[in-house]
Chain A
Amino acid sequence: MPRQSNQATVPREAAPQTGKIRRLHLPQKLRNLELFLLTIACGVNLGAVVLVQLGALGLIDTTLVLLGASLSGLVFALHFVLRFVAREADPFLLPIATLLNGLGIAMIYRIDIANNESGWASAAVRQTVWSGMAIACAIAVILIIRNHRVLFRYTYVAGFVGVALLLLPLVPGLGREVSGARVWIGIGDFATFQPGEIAKIALAVFFAGYLVRNRDSLSMVGKKFLGMRFPRLRDLGPILVVWALSMSVIIFQRDLGTALLYFGLFLVMLYLATARLSWVLLGMALFLGGALIASQTLEYVNGRFTNWLDALNPVVYDAAGGSYQLVQGLFGLAKGGLIGTGLGQGRPELTPVPQSDYIIASLGEELGLAGIFAILALYLLLVARGFRIGFAGQDDFGKLLGVGLSFVIALQCFIVIGGVTRVIPLTGLTTPFLAAGGSSLVANWIIVALLLRLSDTVRNQPRLVV
């Protein structure tokens, strides 16, 4: 594939005639497929809520069903918006996001029932309202950003916004500490928000733009050593800055997961842009070194490692901040077994924070290994559709952005689910779309909107035939 310089890329608007003509005459095959899948997704979600009610309450309560129906309405609105402004967008993204979001709400609702929460105290009601806002944000993004290349212009603005959002919780009076991690902001007692979730989008935009601009100097020069070309010392600047940022998140915000997420995202995008394995090795060495030092010096990091390696040890289990939660989650998953207890029939409420960090354990308990596999398959499909943009894309900025945004979802899944199932030490991150939490929902729906936009661009662009 010929590599295009940024300036040479032909914007979509440059060929308005062909576009218009195609729109008039071609049936919207993709959108019809999306509509079909979306109907199934909404049906599954409705079924999940009803099953929760039958399983846990033994009756059907219509209020939440109505709330869910209005949410479905909003999703269909997004679908119709796509019919007009992104008709060639990928048809799988929206149904997958809808399904995951709905399953999350059903499980959160199920835990509300166990905890006797209702009305505004009910996390499920809040999650539904947040979902509505998140989907509205996605619609807005689709409508405002008609061409993703606009974002390229704001590379450094995005970088600044990303870093600012990341550091916002450290501002005295604004930051909030929840279970040890200082990654929240809040005004008064309400409206807490995790700005780091939005920051990941801004940072992905920044990384994509920055790397496309500077990759030549990052990839061409340097000494060869052990068959790999290592960068010059002066080119180490960016990776060191991101590394320092990640380390400060570990030290000051006490959030291992977020740090890992951003650094991993940067490394992958750097590798894609420069095709240099040496960057990855260097970055991994830096991060592992930092994490190792942190595990020796920072008590909370050290505790995470102990909990991970020796979870079932009674001493670790009973310690304050010990592996109690982790082991309770394992008990829940084990209870679920192959096919699960059925929605509303397990005891996910016995695990601490079963609706946020541990929602995957809650789902595993009630839907079993079969349910977990289905959910993992949905994530994998979502990520694969994102990667498709990278494979088929025409401009490097779009490719990098699409892959970066998809990879961030994959990595986040790995960090959370891997933490719950003891692949890696447990760190607090939200499970995309499923976990209770407004900021995460808004961020992930914006990612979906951007991926939709990118995929539309990819299909609409006439391929350069040389």
Chain B
Amino acid sequence: MNRELKRVSAVVLLMFVALLCSTSIVQVFQSDNLAADDRNTRTLLDSYSVERGAILAGGEPIAQSIPVDDNFKFQRTYINGLLYAPVTGFIPVNGAPTGLEQALNGELSGTSNAQFFDQVSSLVTGQDPKGAAVETSIDPVAQQAAWDALDDLTGSVVVTEPATGRVLAMVSKPSYDPNTLAVHDSAAVNDTYASLVDAPGDPLINRAINSLNPPGSVFKVVVVAAALESGQFTPDSTFPNPASFQLPGSSSVVTNSGGGTCGGGDTVTIATALALSCNIPMAELGLQLGDDAIREMAEKFGFNSEFTIPLSVTASTYPDNPDAAQTALSAFGQTSVQATPLQMALVSATIANGGIQMQPNLVDEILAPDLSSLQTFEPVAADRVLSAETAATMTRLMVNGVQEGAASNARIDGVDVAGKTGTAENGDDDPYTLWFTGFAPADDPQYAITVLIEDGGGLGQTGYGNLLAAPIAKQVLEAVLNK
């Protein structure tokens, strides 16, 4: 019987070896993957039980963790939550975080690789680990001015610093209070979340970076830049100036806004067409340039690609294979051209910065709990998009548009503002989308700004960019320039 017993012993040993292997696989080799699983509530709860780092704007906290006496140990609190919601996002007890809470979760919760030695030392000393603080590039004055200027309209304002790419203001309206989603009561969070999802105006969407709209006339800036860079056109290049224009291969007819010709005369220059924001000359220019040249310029500016600031920015789009009619329409930002406010701010900022695009960035610095710097975000030049001459020409054309053209409501006494308005059509009966994009001062650009107003600004199809969007840009620029 002992021979058989030996064999059975071997089987038992094998069974235990199998268990040793399986536990090793789960606990060591698969543990990182399992910890990263979305469904792993342990990971989420762990990110609560450390003192999460603060999110700062202008040195003041806009999100911080306050010790409380419950399972989660800390209550995440958002100061001026409605104003900063697009920046901070929120971290719920029972779901995925959003905004910077999500994008920099590792740093905020102290689990990023840069904080590895802190983790080890807290393991040794027995002190509770702490997360790092995030200093944003947001300027509270600009943010507040943008918030006030937008009033109760549905839309967004983005202000950036052309020379560095820093995002100074990022407002989206309507907004929500992230505090209501950070309470330690899953049921309450679910109820609030559901009601916000159903709320009019989709308050949970960060319009500045995640809302796509037809850019309308603000896209003409991109088309004119493409024309100048092609070397085939100058601002003085002329086009026929009819009052209506039949699209090639289509029965549709394009008119200038307000009807009539673009200024007087049989021909019109690019400079005039941009200043007065005429559609017909742009359609003609677009057809001569071709969709490839426009797309190439748009993609240099950042269209057709997603990027992070470190929030994820939805890709703005220029269509792949438009036919001739669509190419003509795309030249004044209609058909399937779509843009986020941040993308348009990037276009203005690039022109303002002499044609060199700086990577947009929402974060200045990450600070360890002892206030030492873990990571600083230096300005990064992405690419030269335009030659310095083209950028200077574009600036001159855009200043002209504000001083004498269709963007007159953005004028500020004593400061040259460069800008372009847009009034984009959505459906036949849908309200317009209103835009302004520009920068100031034109001779030494400090601020690039883009204003988006959705839903026609409450005026249906009667509102237009210069009426509603340009004054908001003016109000914000005045506030930051007078600071």
Q: Which A residues contact B (CB, under 8 angstroms)?
A: 1, 3, 268, 271-273, 275, 312, 317, 327, 330-338, 347, 350, 364, 368-369, 372-373, 376, 379-380, 383-384, 387, 390-391, 396, 399, 403, 407, 410-411, 413-414, 417-418, 421-423
- In whole angstroms, what is the CA distance A104 to B475 when docked? 69
Interface status of B12 (Cβ within 8 A of chain A): yes
Q: For chain B residues 336-388, which have a beta carbon within 8 Å of chain A?
A: none
Contacts of A418 in B (CB 8 A): 15, 18-19, 22
Going nearest first, the 5 A-B pairs with the smallest beta carbon separation are A334-B34, A421-B22, A334-B31, A369-B27, A414-B15
- Alpha-carbon distance between A3 and B3 when the two chains are bound, in angstroms: 13
In the complex the two chains form, is B28's CB within 8 Å of A369's CB?
A: yes
Q: Looking at the complex, which of B36-44, B107-115, B240-248 is the stretch in contact with chain A? A: B36-44
Task: State whether A331 touches B23 (Cβ < 8 A).
Answer: no
B1 within 8 A of A: yes
The answer on a CB contact under 8 Å between A334 and B19 is no
Expressed in whole angstroms, the Cα–Cα distance for A267 and B26 within the complex equals 31
What are 5 A-B contacts with C-beta separation under 8 Å?
A332-B42, A335-B42, A383-B12, A414-B18, A422-B26
Residues in chain A near residue B37, CB distance under 8 A: 312, 327, 331
Confirm or deny: B257 has a beta carbon within 8 angstroms of a beta carbon on chain A: no
- Least Cβ distance of A243 to chain B in Å? 20
CB pair A399–B1 under 8 Å, yes or no, is yes
Interchain nearest-CB distance for B217 vs A (Å): 45
- Residues of B near A338 (CB, < 8 A) are 27-28
Instruction: With both chains docked as a complex, state the minimum distance between the C-beta of A338 and any C-beta of chain B, in angstroms.
Output: 6
With the chains together, A413 CA to B2 CA distance in Å? 24
CB distance from B188 to the nearest CB of A (A): 20
Query: In the bound complex, what is the Cα–Cα distance between A27 and B107 (angstroms)?
Result: 65
B-chain residues with CB within 8 Å of residue A407 when the two chains form the complex: 8, 12
B459 near A: Cβ within 8 Å? no
Residues of A within 8 A of B31 (CB): 333-335, 337
Bound form: Cα–Cα A379–B39 in Å: 33
A360 to chain B, nearest CB (A): 9
| Cβ-defined contact, B1 with A333, below 8 A | no
Q: Tell whether, in the assembled complex, residue B42 and residue A410 are in contact, meaning their CB atoms are under 8 Å apart.
A: no
Question: CB of B116 within 8 A of chain A?
Answer: no
The 8 Å CB contact of B28, one of A273, A337, A396, is A337
Q: A331-B37, A335-B42 are in contact. Are A391 and B2 (CB under 8 A)?
A: yes
Q: Of the candidates A275, A334, A373, A380, which one forms a contact with B26 in the assembled complex, judged by CB atoms under 8 Å apart?
A: A334
Of A317, A350, A369, A383, which is within 8 A of B24 by CB?
A369
Interface residues of B in 1-54 (CB under 8 A from A): 1-5, 8-9, 12-13, 15-16, 18-20, 22-28, 30-31, 34-35, 37, 39-42, 45
Q: Contact: B22 with A410, CB < 8 Å?
A: no
Least Cβ–Cβ distance between B24 and chain A, in angstroms: 6
What total of chain B residues lie within 8 Å of the partner, measured CB to CB? 31
Q: Would you call B4 and A271 a contact (CB within 8 A)?
A: yes
Chain A residue with the shortest CB-CB distance to B5: A390
- Inter-chain contact B9/A387, CB cutoff 8 Å: yes
List the B residue with the shortest CB-CB distance to A417.
Answer: B19
Closest chain B residue to A373, Cβ basis: B20
- Cβ contact within 8 Å between A413 and B8: no
- Candidates A272, A332, A421; contact of B8 at CB < 8 Å: A272
Q: How far is the CA of A347 from the CA of B45 in the complex (A)?
A: 9
Chain A's closest residue to B8 (CB) is: A268
Contact indicator A334/B4 (Cβ below 8 Å): no
Chain B residue numbers with a CB within 8 Å of A1 are: 2
Cβ–Cβ < 8 Å partners of A3 in chain B: 1
Cβ A272 vs Cβ B34 within 8 A: no
Residues of A within 8 A of B20 (CB): 373, 376
User: Please, how many angstroms separate the alpha-carbon atoms of A58 and B18 in the complex?
Assistant: 37
Chain B residues lying within 8 Å of A312, measured Cβ to Cβ, are: 37
Asked whether A331 and B42 contact (CB < 8 A) given A272-B4, A312-B37, the answer is yes
B8 with A330: CB separation less than 8 A: no
Chain B residues in 8 Å Cβ range of A273: 1
Nearest CB in chain B: distance from A418 CB, A? 6
Q: Within residues 83 to 99 of chain B, which ones have a CB less than 8 A from any CB in chain A?
A: none
Tell me the complex Cα distance, A272–B11, Å: 13
For B9, list chain A residues within 8 Å (CB).
384, 387
**Interchain CB contact under 8 A, B5 and A387:** yes
Chain B nearest CB: distance from A387 CB in Å?
Answer: 6
Q: List the A residue with the shortest CB-CB distance to B31.
A: A334
B83 to chain A, nearest CB (A): 35
Find B42's partner among A350, A396, A423 (CB 8 Å cutoff).
Answer: A350
B23 to A417, Cβ gap below 8 A? yes
Docked pose: A373 CA to B18 CA in angstroms:
12
Which residues from chain B contact A327 at a C-beta distance below 8 Å? Answer: 37, 39
Q: Which residues of B contact A379 (CB under 8 A)?
A: 16
| Chain A residues in 8 Å Cβ range of B5 | 272, 387, 390-391, 399, 403
A357 to chain B, nearest CB (A): 16
CA distance A336 to B40 in the complex (A): 13
CA distance A391 to B5 in the complex (A): 7
Query: In whole angstroms, what is the CA distance A335 to B20 when docked?
Result: 17
Please name all residues of chain B whose beta carbon is closer than 8 Å to the beta carbon of A330 when the two chains form the complex: 26, 30, 34
Q: Are A333 and B27 in contact (CB under 8 A)?
A: yes
Q: Are B39 and A334 in contact, CB atoms less than 8 angstroms apart?
A: no
A272 / chain B contacts, CB cutoff of 8 Å: 1, 4-5, 8
Q: Which residues of A contact B39 (CB under 8 A)?
A: 317, 327, 331
Given that A334-B31, A387-B5, A410-B15 are known contacts, is A347 also in contact with B22, CB under 8 Å in the complex?
no
A344 to B15 CA separation, bound complex (whole angstroms): 30
Distance A334 CA – B31 CA, assembled complex (angstroms): 4
Residues of chain A within 8 A of B34, CB atoms compared: 330-331, 333-334
Shortest CB distance B7–A (Å) = 8
**Cα distance A272–B1 in the bound complex, in angstroms:** 6
The docked-state distance in angstroms from the alpha carbon of A436 to that of B370 is 46
Contacts of B25 in A (CB 8 A): 421
User: Within 8 Å CB of A376, what residues of B?
Assistant: 16, 19-20, 23
Known contacts A271-B4, A333-B27, A368-B27; 10 additional CB pairs below 8 A are A275-B3, A275-B4, A317-B39, A330-B26, A334-B31, A380-B13, A384-B9, A407-B12, A414-B19, A421-B26
